[in-house]
Amino acid sequence: MTPKERWRRTFQREPIDRVALDYWGTPEITTRLKLRLNCRDDRELWDRLGIDKSVGIGPALHDPLADQRNGADVWGVRSRVIRYADGAGEYAEVCESPLSSAETVSDIEKFPWPDPGWWDHSSIENQCVSLNDYPIIGGTYEPFLLYCAMRGLEQGMADLVAAPEMVEAALERIFHIHYVLIERTLAAAKGAVDFIYVAEDLGSQTGPLMSLDTFRRILKPGMAKMIELAHSHGAWAFHHDDGGIRPLLPDLMEIGIDLLNPIQWRCAGMDRRELKRDYGDRLVFHGAMDNQQTLPFGTIEEVRQEVRDNIQILGENGGYILAPCHNLQVITPLENIIAMYEEAHRVGGN
């Protein structure tokens, strides 16, 4: 059974040989794993650990203004490298937000937004052919995250209350650009795309970062249209939402999410048994291997026990894909990562 077949059977609640497994990791931890297991490339690593890796495809960007951006990306956001774990790992963090000085909707409208025509979709079909055995993600839509990068995180959050009209004006532009790009990708892929990544980070450890009314007004309509687009092309909606987002789930179900990631079950309201009880017949759960405590700091047996618990709870009657809750960090012991996948293969699933 190929990785793509395992994922599709998981969604369709059909018989499966074992629980499907995914992998998310930083470049540094992936390199360490490949060295430890003597793997030449990522695909060899996935094969060695028996991982049903979800893979992304996308158009090629040809930015006519690239030479004028002085290191900023196509959205005008400039980042700098921040190192952690005594320099063993690094992340690019926003250091310059192009809309930070905007004061009115007019300022948003005057911003030089990228043109969807700058992206070339001619290679999409070949990308799909080369990845045919894997579940394919055909686009990413995470609008408020991008808005906060363009505006500055603190100001972006404050705008939800102080200047919602500016948020709505920017999100309208962000939505249009992404909708066109994803629609063209889906058309070019000719049915090979399995998922569209429709995401936000709306939860903290203790609950949602915004009110339900704000979510419904600012973000829900665009998400609904993007999910409808995915479904119209026979693709599922892969919804990523960190933290304690339980109060938002009824609304997310209403607009048609098909998969919920990452299941941070130690956060408020995210009890695995309750989620499975209330949504298990309609949602596929993805993740649930705790990347804040168990994987980086737990013992090998604690990791193995969490694998068993997740398969038993979230995998009852199917509908579960085991994976780390977020990118495995460079501080994570390799033995814990290997044990996670070994135990999943040993237990199998329902």
Looking at residues 222-233, what average pLDDT do you find?
98
Alpha helices in the chain (DSSP H): 3-11, 27-36, 42-49, 105-110, 124-130, 143-151, 153-162, 164-189, 212-218, 220-232, 249-254, 272-279, 294-297, 300-313, 334-347
Residue 44 lies in a domain: yes
Residue 78 lies in a domain: no
Judged by phi (left if over 0) then psi (alpha if -120 to 50, else beta), residue 190 lies in: left
Residue 207 lies in a domain: yes
Looking at residues 92-108, what average pLDDT do you find?
97
Q: Does residue 350 carry a pLDDT above 50?
A: no
Residue 94 lies in a domain: no
Count of structural domains, the chain:
1
Model pLDDT, residue 129? 97
Q: Does residue 349 carry a pLDDT above 70?
A: no
**Residue 302: which CATH number?**
3.20.20.210
Looking at residues 10-28, what average pLDDT do you find?
96
pLDDT tens digits, one per residue of 147-194: 999 999 999 999 999 999 999 999 999 999 999 999 999 999 999 999
| Residue-number span of the structural domain to which 32 is assigned | 3-69+102-347
Residue 263 lies in a domain: yes
In angstroms, the CA 337 to CA 21 distance is: 12
pLDDT tens digits, one per residue of 50-90: 999 999 999 999 999 999 999 999 999 999 999 999 999 99
Residue 14 lies in a domain: yes
User: Which DSSP string corresponds to 40-82?
Assistant: SSHHHHHHHHT----EE--PEE--TTGGGSTT--TTS-EEEEE
Q: Does residue 146 carry a pLDDT above 60?
A: yes
Q: How confident is the model at residue 348 (pLDDT cuts 50, 70, 90)?
A: confident
Model pLDDT, residue 281? 95
Model pLDDT, residue 333? 98
pLDDT tens digits, one per residue of 119-133: 999 999 999 999 999
Q: Does residue 268 carry a pLDDT above 50?
A: yes
Residue 93 lies in a domain: no
Looking at residues 29-34, what average pLDDT do you find?
98
Residue 88 lies in a domain: no
